[in-house]
Structure 1
Amino acid sequence: MLGECKNQKKLHATLEKWRNLGEGKILVHTLSEEYLRSSELAEKKAEEVFSSWDVISCSLINVDKLSKKADDLDLRPWEHTRLNTGLFFEIGLILSVPPQNILGTHAHDVWFPNHAGTKNGHTSALTDAIFSGKGKRGGEKFWPAAKGHSYNRILTPKEILSRSDSSQHNEILVIGRKGVNIYPGYSVTGRVRVTGIICASKSRTGHGLFSSLQDRENKVKIAKLKNVNGKLDVIYI
């Protein structure tokens, strides 16, 4: 069975912790500049795109704590700093994920090969990676295998946040396709829903002009996402 914990009851109980993340905690799939410009996510509804993906990489953050950290900066006009957000990129989609879709939970980036086997027809490449804990080349020291784990390691949201470093990002692996039976005795995977958008700029300045220009650029990108995905609430940090 999947899940490093071989006690089925304990594994299911741990997965259930992901059903209700608690106030302020959200799962986010961030988008690079390239993806915002020219990927399928720039043209199709994200929920439809995710439903065709085997695995989606997300990060778990406490948005309330992040918002407070941003508010406490109180920068002067000539000051500039970096805000550690715990996210890979600055703009992302907030997801609602059924617990049975949680494939792996890691407190740091584990270089998961999301699209393994899709180009060369090696259909077992993704499964091999999940069980071996070996991911994309170049990130060997970050692979779960480096610490004797597979990618299918399941921790609770509380455990992940307590072990995460906001100067980097954690990596939560989510199955995108529905109807897949990952865990015996547990529900098959469901649909991953998009519930909102988050914009958390890492570059911070107290200069009003620079700040407003940055806000304007981000709002243009977010408007494109909203045009494709319909009305979504936006969290600005």
Structure 2
Amino acid sequence: MPKDFIVTIDMGGTKQLACVINSSDGIVARVKQSTDPQSTEREYIKSIAKITKDVIKSSSVGKENIKAVCLGMAGSVNPYKGTIYLAPNLGLKNFNIKKMLENEINYPVLVENDVNLAALGIKNFEVDKSSKNLLAIFVGTGIGGGLILNGELYRGSNFVAGEIGHILVKKDGAVCGCGKRGCFETIASRTAITNKIISDVKNGKESSLAKMIEAGEIIKSKSLAKAVKDDDQLVTGHIIDACDVIGGVLASVTNLLN
């Protein structure tokens, strides 16, 4: 078997998703595990090493056929040095994850912002090949953005171009993980939506998610989707409110770029 497979890892604020993939076969194995956002740097390295080992083991690809590991991280990342400048949802700052991870797993490691990688994937596989400009937005634990301009990934001079989640939307609003107040993601991310739902339920409002909230379970996107499908008015209302904010921000960004 040719040595042309890579392990790709999406390192999110609540979960890690790893795949073994190449250009001809696509995804040949997939493994998911939870992320503990309170982890230390060393604990993150051990966690990433574990999921790397697990996904290779679950595939039919021998470890000698893995060419590299590509790590997508939320936050500002210097891909040339492999340094995470700031990943607020993971509690990481000025951390050279590339060097430490390479020492741990003995594979070359590429590090890039997760939504930048997603934007490249959309450009290469999901839109018309003639499209040279796009803005990819992903809503999850936070809100991230990736910019493709004139066919090339645009990172900005400080590697934070496209970080739409930290646009100021509400002056003196909730404190963001980045340290500022009123950022876009404090209002319209899945985390923001679920926090509002939890607060309302604890204050006596009805929701199909009440039992999950009382049990202290994490509310994931699929739980929100099911609640909307089940006509949960509380959940639906908060999602509509978030969509209104998202639409307004995207309209402004469209005017800026277009």
Q: Same fold (TM over 0.5)?
A: no
Report the structure number with the largest CA radius of gyration.
2
Answer 1 or 2: which has greater strand percent. Answer: 2
TM-score, structure 1 normalization = 0.28
Answer 1 or 2: which has greater helix percent. Answer: 2
Higher normalized contact order (CA 8 Å, seq sep 6+, divided by chain length)? 1
TM-score, structure 2 normalization = 0.27
